[in-house]
Amino acid sequence: MLIFGISLNAQNEKPEREAFKLKIAIDTVNFYQQDVGKSPYFVQDKILQIYPSEKIFIETEVKSDSIYSMSVVKENLNPERTIIVEFNQNVKGRIHVGMMLTVKNPFDKSLKYEALMFINGGTEWIPTSIIPIRPNLVSYELWKDVILSLVLVEWQMEE
């Protein structure tokens, strides 16, 4: 039975995103476009990079009330320990309105993390403020900036 469980989990893992063309509206005339190659979601241990238009299921392993490991999976087979992260651009017509990051906390404790953003025309990653997510709730973070990618780090649970 244990081997069957390990096999199912391995089949559900999705460590890398498939290559895609990222296209982000700037205004009625201009847009940003980038070919995002096949690449890992986690660029380092518990350091997630996400692009606009992505929705990711992050299955966690919790030990001693802390997040021990994180891995991206294809399907949310264990909702009680899967963080759902979605990043999108809001557009009206062909004009950028804003960016929205949605994070669902499946835990009975608050979930905290930090975020860095890379904006259109920028040359470096910029820290941005994030509000902790209360137990079993969803948070919505909004920005007016045209964000090309976010990096989410320092994941932790707290009372």
Sequential pLDDT tens for the chain (159 residues):
444 444 445 688 988 999 999 999 998 888 999 999 999 999 999 999 999 999 999 999 999 888 999 999 999 999 999 999 999 999 998 889 999 999 999 999 999 999 999 999 999 999 999 999 999 999 999 999 999 999 999 999 987
What is the pLDDT, as a whole number, of residue 64?
A: 86
Burial class (CB in 10 A: 0-12, 13-18, 19+), 62: middle
**Helix, strand, coil in percent for the chain, rounding step 5:** 10, 60, 30
Work out the number of other CB atoms within 10 angstroms of the CB of residue 123: 7
Spell out the domain ranges in the chain.
Answer: 2-158
pTM here is 0.91
